[in-house]
């Protein structure tokens, strides 16, 4: 390997490029790494040369090749970015810095390091995607020389390559790099399987080559007879592709019939379909093996027609048909959308190519947990995809299993945040409907409809999950700020302190700075979420003896106030009836300030109250208020003799007391008894007792009782 070879490669795609800095960069890198030796024993400067050569295969401009030659100098030598700027310009220096930033921080665990390194790479890619191409080239050469490392490191690096770098190369459309990275990784992850595949592929190579050449000749003569030009050649399936097919179908190597395929390159899209028709006229196609990626490109913009036919002698033959331009994109991937022009920088040609990279950057901003971010990216890299049409005919790519909510967020965040339903192929569909490729989806929205936690059970894509979680966290923080402020003001008033004066002063914040709280907003949020007790915050403000939080006082039942709920000291705040005890007007109640969900109202006899006593200052006095027309749902259970007409008699008794039945269920036992379970709507405790008394008088009723749910809610 020499610099001359790199220069020759660049001249093939950029004959007029200025290469004056290339030799200088090579010399600079060699001197910076002088005396350094790789574990393999070769001089270190051989590695940057190999990385630069790989980058020429992607046809990158000289500034990127220079960055490849210099990619390790900031990390492994005393060279600074300022020196690189002075010698080679800002563009090359920034690229080197972007590569260097990946992996410079110490982490608690290997998993955390891998996740954070990937996150930093995404940030660098946001500034210039060539950072990722240089990193991929660096990883590819490292995989080619992995034999020099200890076995434990070999497996770790190979696993990371298989999980992250090979899928990334695939996402960027660089098929040859993806295949080589996967095969190199398989060699170290499953060495026995890899060696077996190598031997078996080589053993039948001669016979397969002869067979493929026969098929190619027949196709070539038929195309010529129809006046169609095309380049035709055979291709061998890479080892990981063979292994994955064996695992996916549960078959031995001998039953993998398409070890070799045929690729046809032509000059127009129309010819691609004409060639497809000719091939299907020669041999019968296998319908399940037909894929039209020209009509619906892959996410990395890969385009080609794939079809498998039953060829001569009954053997399966796979064909790939594409134009020359499509082939260039398939080989060079994202780099094919950047062209080097003398005297100018790399220019973006197709915005769609970078949609996935922009999506990664968006996730990086929305998902704060590093490992969650890594899992989201892995899910997107490995997941099977479906392709859904918008009403305008645009195609959205989603993970298989996605729902209309996923689609709505793929269209726009605001569409997702306000979606209420969907039309799939013109028919109404629920938000939990699983979408299939080719369906046309129209999202229905309402400004009053907002995301809730149940949506997280319905969505599949990382983007939808991140957006829903972000909305919920933001909403809960807003509610917690309000709750926290009101709780703190309540404690201040109980301590006979002026809330306005205290909150405008410095003393209260000075008391919480040691625990990392520096603003009132953070203080309110901490109290609202339950991380900080309001009583402990104001304790330093009180004279000895320290103020102690009073236990909630007993609330006297007020028969004239029935229906709605009033929260003492907190004014207008969100209130909900707890489902564990479902109190009704007339029951003695107490409130508990939840974290971000307002006040939960419980019966004072609710067993779950015991779970809240450790946090007395979050218990709060509540009372029933007059509210005409409000009813409450209560569950009751009626044990009866199993006899005809008993269900009707009990139902009649309930309705005679003007209580509506919303649910009814009957369960019979072998001892000639039956349990009737009802959910009924009643006004208050007095109304409920009236209903229960009437049910007890029904002939055949043995026992009637109100049912409360068990467990903490």
Residues labelled as active-site residues? 75-76
Beta strands in 431-538 (DSSP E): 441-445
**117 in Cβ contact with 103 (< 8 Å):** yes
CA angle 697, 702, 703 (to 5 degrees): 85
**95 in Cβ contact with 130 (< 8 Å):** yes
Q: Which two tokens stand for residue 230?
A: 């095309």
Q: What is d(CA 164, CA 25) in angstroms, rounded to the nearest whole number?
A: 30
| Percent of the chain that is helix, strand, coil (3-state, to 5) | 50, 15, 30
Q: What is d(CA 428, CA 365) in angstroms, rounded to the nearest whole number?
A: 34
Q: What is d(CA 118, CA 128) in angstroms, rounded to the nearest whole number?
A: 15
Q: What is d(CA 336, CA 331) in angstroms, rounded to the nearest whole number?
A: 8
**638 in Cβ contact with 679 (< 8 Å):** no
In Å, how far are 203, 477, 582, 584, 585 from 578, measured between CA atoms? 71, 21, 6, 11, 13
Q: Which two tokens stand for residue 102?
A: 């990946």
**210 in Cβ contact with 312 (< 8 Å):** no
For tokens 């910076």, the residue is 32
Q: 307: cis peptide before it, omega within 30°? A: no
Q: Which long-range contacts does 531-540 make (Cβ < 8 Å, 24+ apart)?
A: 533/615, 533/617, 534/484, 534/487, 534/488, 534/490, 534/491, 534/617, 535/491, 535/617, 537/488, 537/491, 537/508, 537/511, 537/512, 538/488, 538/491, 538/492, 538/495, 538/497, 538/502, 538/508, 540/507, 540/511
Q: What is d(CA 127, CA 134) in angstroms, rounded to the nearest whole number?
A: 14
Collect all residues with Cβ–Cβ distance below 8 Å to 489 and sequence separation of at least 6: 499, 503
User: What string of DSSP letters covers 121-188?
Assistant: HHHHHHH-THHHHHHHHHHHHHHHTGGGS-HHHHHHHHHHIIIIIHHHHHHTT-HHHHHHHHHHHHHH
Q: What is d(CA 21, CA 27) in angstroms, rounded to the nearest whole number?
A: 10
Half-sphere exposure of 607 (CA within 13 A, CB side): 6
Q: Which two tokens stand for residue 577?
A: 């009836």
**333 in Cβ contact with 173 (< 8 Å):** yes
Closest-CA residue to 574 (of 608, 555, 601): 601
């Amino acid at each position: 390997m020499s610099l001359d070879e790199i220069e020759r490669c660049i001249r093939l795609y950029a004959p007029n490029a200025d290469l004056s800095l290339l030799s200088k960069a090579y010399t600079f890198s060699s001197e910076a790494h002088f005396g350094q030796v790789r574990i393999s024993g070769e001089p270190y400067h051989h590695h940057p040369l190999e990385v630069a050569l790989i980058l020429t295969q992607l046809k990158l401009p000289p500034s990127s090749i220079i960055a490849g030659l210099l990619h390790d100098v900031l990390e492994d030598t005393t060279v600074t970015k300022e020196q690189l700027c002075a010698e080679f310009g800002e563009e090359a220096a920034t690229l080197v810095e972007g590569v260097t930033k990946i992996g410079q921080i110490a982490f608690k665990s290997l998993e955390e390091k891998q996740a954070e390194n990937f996150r930093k790479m995404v940030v660098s890619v946001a500034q210039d995607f060539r950072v990722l191409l240089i990193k991929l080239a660096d990883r590819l050469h490292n995989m080619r020389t992995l034999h020099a490392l200890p076995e434990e490191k070999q497996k770790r690096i190979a696993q990371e390559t298989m999980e992250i770098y090979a899928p990334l190369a695939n996402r960027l459309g660089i098929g040859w790099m993806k295949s080589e990275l996967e095969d190199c990784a398989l060699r170290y992850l499953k060495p026995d399987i890899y060696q077996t595949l190598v031997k078996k592929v080589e053993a039948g190579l001669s016979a397969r080559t002869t067979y493929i050449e026969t098929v190619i000749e027949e196709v070539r003569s038929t195309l010529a007879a129809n006046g169609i030009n095309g380049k035709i050649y055979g291709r061998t399936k890479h080892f990981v592709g063979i292994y994955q097919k064996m695992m996916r179908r549960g078959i031995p190597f001998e039953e993998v019939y398409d070890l070799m395929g045929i690729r046809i390159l032509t000059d127009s899209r129309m010819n691609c379909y004409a060639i497809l028709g000719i091939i299907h006229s020669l041999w019968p196609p296998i319908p399940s093996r037909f894929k039209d990626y020209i009509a619906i490109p892959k996410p990395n913009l890969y385009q080609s027609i794939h079809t498998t036919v039953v060829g001569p002698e009954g053997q399966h033959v796979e064909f790939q048909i594409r134009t020359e331009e499509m082939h260039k994109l398939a080989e060079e991937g994202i780099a094919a959308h950047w062209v080097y022009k003398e005297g100018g920088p790399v220019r973006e040609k197709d915005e769609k190519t970078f949609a996935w990279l922009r999506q990664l950057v968006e996730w990086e901003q929305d998902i704060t947990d590093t490992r969650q971010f890594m899992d989201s990216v892995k899910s997107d890299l490995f997941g099977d995809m479906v392709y859904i049409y918008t009403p305008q005919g645009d195609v959205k790519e989603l993970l298989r299993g996605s729902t209309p909510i996923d689609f709505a967020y793929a269209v726009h965040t605001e569409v997702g945040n306000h979606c209420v339903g969907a039309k799939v192929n013109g028919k109404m569909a629920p938000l939990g409907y699983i979408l299939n490729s080719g369906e046309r989806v129209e999202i229905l929205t309402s400004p009053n409809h907002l995301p809730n936690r149940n949506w997280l059970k319905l969505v599949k894509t990382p983007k939808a999950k991140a957006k829903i979680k972000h909305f919920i966290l933001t909403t809960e923080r807003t509610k917690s700020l309000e709750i926290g402020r009101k709780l703190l003001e309540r404690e201040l008033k109980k301590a006979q302190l002026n809330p306005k004066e205290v909150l405008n002063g410095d003393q209260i914040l000075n008391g919480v700075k040691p625990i990392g709280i520096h603003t009132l907003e953070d203080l309110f949020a901490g109290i609202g979420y339950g991380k900080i007790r309001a009583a402990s915050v104001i304790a330093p403000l009180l004279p000895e003896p320290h103020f102690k939080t009073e236990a909630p006082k007993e609330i006297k039942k007020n028969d004239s106030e029935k229906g709605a709920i009033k929260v003492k000291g907190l004014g207008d705040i969100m209130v909900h009836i707890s489902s564990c005890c479902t109190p009704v007007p007339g029951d003695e109640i107490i409130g508990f300030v939840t974290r971000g969900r307002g006040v939960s109202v419980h019966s004072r006899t609710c067993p779950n109250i015991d779970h809240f006593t450790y946090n007395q200052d979050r218990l709060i006095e509540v009372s029933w208020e007059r509210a005409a027309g409000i009813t409450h749902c209560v569950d009751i259970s009626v044990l009866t003799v199993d006899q005809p007409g008993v269900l009707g008699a009990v139902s009649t008794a309930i309705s005679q007391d003007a209580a509506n039945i919303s649910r009814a269920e009957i369960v019979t036992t072998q001892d000639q008894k039956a349990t009737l379970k009802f959910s009924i709507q009643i006004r208050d405790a007095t109304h409920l007792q009236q209903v229960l008394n009437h049910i007890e008088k029904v002939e055949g009723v043995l026992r009637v009782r109100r049912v409360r749910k068990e467990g903490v809610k």
